[in-house]
Chain A
Amino acid sequence: MAHHASHEPEVVVIPPNKEKIMHLWKVAGILLVVTIFEFIVAFSMQHGTWKTFIFVVMTIVKATYIVGEFMHLKYEAKVLIWSILVPIIFIVWMLVAFVYEGMKLSDVNFLR
Chain B
Amino acid sequence: MSQPTAATIPGRTEWDGGVSPMGVSYGKLMMWFFLLSDAFTFSGLLITYGLIRSQHPAFPGDHAHFVFSQEYWPVPEKVFEAVPFFHGVDLPLVFVGFMTFVLIMSSVTMVLAVEAGHRMDRKAVEKWMLWTILGGITFLSCQAWEWTHFIVGTEAGSTIKEFVNGSWATRVIHGANLHENQYGPHDFADFFFFITGFHGFHVFSGVMLNFLIYYRTVTGMYDRRGSYEMVEKVGLYWHFVDLVWVFVFTFYYLV
* B1:A75 contact, CB within 8 angstroms: yes
What's the least CB distance linking B217 to chain A, in Å?
A: 12
* B104:A52 contact, CB within 8 angstroms: no
**Interface 1/0s, chain B 1-23, versus A by CB < 8 A?**
11011100000000000000111
How many of chain A's residues have a CB under 8 angstroms from any CB in B?
Answer: 60
Determine the main DSSP class of A at the interface with B: helix
**Interface 1/0s, chain B 30-58, versus A by CB < 8 A?**
00110010011001100110110011110
* B115:A24 contact, CB within 8 angstroms: yes
Q: How large is the interface on B (under 10, 10 to 19, 20 to 34, 35 or more residues)?
A: 35 or more
Determine the main DSSP class of B at the interface with A: helix
* A47:B22 contact, CB within 8 angstroms: no
Given A9-B224, A13-B121, A66-B239, also A98-B255 (CB < 8 A): no
Report chain B residues within 8 Å CB of A59.
246-247, 250-251
17 contacts between A and B (CB under 8 A): A11-B120, A14-B120, A16-B115, A16-B116, A21-B112, A24-B115, A38-B254, A66-B246, A70-B239, A71-B235, A71-B243, A77-B6, A77-B23, A79-B21, A88-B39, A94-B47, A99-B51
Interface set of B (CB-CB < 8 Å, partner A): 1-2, 4-6, 21-24, 29, 32-33, 36, 39-40, 43-44, 47-48, 50-51, 54-57, 63, 77, 92-93, 97, 100-101, 104-105, 107-108, 110-112, 115-116, 118-122, 124, 220, 223-224, 226, 235-236, 239-240, 242-243, 246-247, 250-251, 254-255
